């Protein structure tokens, strides 16, 4: 039989870094349409399909891989607080840098080039550059424009302007993080069929949305727009791939069939959003294991930097007419600039931020140490290892198993014997020390 994902996937040696870079690269080429006036002013891909742009396909892949990787990460996280701290460090610092660079570097330079002075840029009647950061800093892009700019560039002529149009997905990405975090806190990740049920629910809503069966919000009012379904559904499928990695097999024949399904539905416009994308995500998982580009991001993980800086840089270049130099010159310059910025973002911001993933402020560490005995006492009074899937319950079971091995008596969590419980409390104190 072909190997399962668990047997074949090496967390430290796979091609996911390359795939994420490739999809970020696809987003660049896709968005060059409306931003630079190429491809008839449309995102790349919409010239030969009616369902999804190339950038949309890439977003689907991003969310699938995020669901897979973050679920694996959550299974290894020590606490819910540490989990969210690490997710915050991965998303926010570089995103905030992108907002600040846009509002206080790219924006004023473009404004001066267009109008000859930056006076009105700093005190506009609408869309202040100072509000651009505060209004968007929590991932929801409430203010897309700055100082009413955009009328002189291709996107403005198309009827609107947005300094970072691809950043809309970040709030949904964090929603996915929250789902996994809550599932882990409640122990749902330990019961993978519950996660499969959630993913199945998302697939049903996806079918309702794109097959025109009606208003899905009647069944899921918390999913208040179709974008939740479009991106969180592949995220949920990624969660399933992570939890059922001992069941799902990586088969070359299935990969060929899945690729054929994805390609046919995409180019024919006959069901990509309904079922073609499921073939695509299987192919992605196959590529992550089978493609031997395992050291692609050894010097820098460029994908996130490309994603959050590409659109502002392309908008900025449009003010100086780079698109008029032609398709090849435009793309070569844009690709080079974006990769340089992404490289700097990784080494100056992202990598440094992630180095703090295990950091605890000294005051908080001292408070935790002081409150440790009381916290442990409360948890011992509340947690019964016979009826809990929490990490703390597992810790108690492990202690009992160790005592069983060394003393040769039945685990207290199972037998209910009082003497092993007393021994366990002593062992727990030693373990805590």
Q: How much is the average pLDDT of 305-319?
A: 95
**At residue 98, what are phi and psi to the nearest 5 degrees?**
-65, -40
Check the CA dihedral 266-268-270-275 and report its sign. negative
Average confidence (pLDDT) over 103-116: 96
Q: How far apart are CA 303 and CA 342, in angstroms?
A: 8
**pTM of this prediction exceeds 0.85:** yes
* CA separation, residue 20 to residues 17, 30, 161, 296, 346 (Å): 5, 15, 27, 10, 14
Over the Cα atoms of the chain, what is R_g?
Answer: 25
Query: Across-strand partners of 212?
Result: none
Which whole number is the average pLDDT over 215-244? 84
Query: Where residue 288 falls among pLDDT bands split at 50, 70, 90?
Result: very high
The conformational region for residue 141 under phi > 0 = left, psi -120 to 50 = alpha, else beta, is beta
- 276 CB-near residues (< 8 Å, 6+ apart): 261, 262, 264, 265, 266
Mean pLDDT of the chain: 87
Per residue in 324-382, pLDDT (tens digit) is 999 999 999 999 999 999 999 999 999 999 999 988 878 877 887 787 788 788 878 87
Output the CA angle 128-141-316, nearest 5 degrees. 65
Contact by Cβ (8 Å): 370, 397: no
pLDDT of res. 252: 96
Q: What is the mean pLDDT of residues 72-99?
A: 91
Number of residues assigned to the chain: 433
For residue 223, name the pLDDT band (cuts at 50, 70, 90).
Answer: low
pLDDT digits (tens, 9 = 90+) for 20-60: 999 998 988 898 888 898 888 888 988 888 888 999 999 99
Work out the widest C-alpha separation in the chain, in whole angstroms. 85
pLDDT band at 429 (very low <50, low <70, confident <90, very high): very low
Average pLDDT over residues 381-402: 79
pLDDT at 248: 97
How many angstroms separate the CA atoms of 166 and 307, rounded? 7
């Amino acid at each position: 039989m072909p190997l399962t994902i668990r047997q074949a996937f090496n967390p430290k040696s796979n091609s996911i870094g390359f795939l994420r870079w490739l999809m970020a690269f696809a987003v660049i080429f896709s968005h060059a349409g409306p931003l630079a006036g190429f491809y008839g002013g449309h995102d790349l891909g919409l010239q030969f399909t009616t369902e999804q742009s190339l950038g949309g396909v890439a977003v689907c892949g991003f969310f699938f891989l995020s669901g897979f990787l973050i679920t694996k990460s959550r299974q290894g996280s020590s606490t819910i607080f540490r989990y969210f701290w690490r997710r915050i460090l991965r998303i926010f610092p570089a995103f905030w840098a992108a907002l600040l660079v846009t509002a206080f570097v790219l924006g004023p330079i473009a404004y001066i080039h267009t109008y000859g002075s930056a006076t009105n840029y700093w005190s506009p009647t609408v869309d202040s550059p100072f509000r651009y950061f505060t209004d968007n800093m929590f991932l929801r892009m409430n203010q897309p424009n700055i100082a009413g700019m955009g009328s002189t560039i291709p996107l403005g002529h198309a009827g609107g302007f947005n300094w970072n149009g691809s950043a809309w997905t970040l709030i949904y990405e964090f929603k996915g993080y929250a789902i996994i975090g809550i599932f882990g806190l409640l122990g749902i990740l330990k019961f993978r069929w519950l996660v499969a049920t959630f993913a199945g629910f998302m697939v049903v809503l996806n079918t309702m949305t794109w097959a025109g069966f009606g208003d899905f919000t009647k069944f899921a009012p918390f999913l208040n727009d179709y974008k939740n379904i479009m991106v969180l559904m592949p995220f949920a499928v990624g969660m399933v791939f992570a939890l059922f990695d001992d069941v799902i097999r990586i088969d070359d024949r299935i990969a060929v069939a899945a690729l054929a399904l994805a390609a046919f539905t995409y180019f024919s416009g006959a069901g990509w959003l309904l079922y073609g994308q499921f073939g695509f995500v299987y192919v992605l998982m196959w590529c992550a294991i089978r493609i031997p580009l395992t050291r692609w991001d050894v010097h820098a993980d460029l994908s996130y930097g490309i994603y959050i800086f590409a659109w502002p840089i392309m908008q900025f270049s449009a003010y100086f007419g780079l698109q008029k130099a032609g398709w090849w010159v435009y793309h070569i310059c844009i690709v080079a600039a974006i990769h340089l910025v992404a490289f700097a973002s990784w080494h100056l911001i992202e990598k440094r931020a992630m180095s703090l993933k295990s950091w605890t402020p000294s005051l908080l560490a001292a408070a935790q140490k002081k409150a440790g005995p009381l916290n442990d006492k409360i948890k011992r009074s509340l947690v019964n290892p016979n009826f809990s899937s929490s990490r703390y319950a597992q810790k108690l079971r492990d202690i009992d198993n160790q005592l069983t091995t060394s003393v040769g008596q039945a685990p207290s969590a199972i037998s209910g014997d009082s003497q092993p419980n007393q021994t366990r409390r002593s062992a727990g104190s030693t373990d805590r020390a």
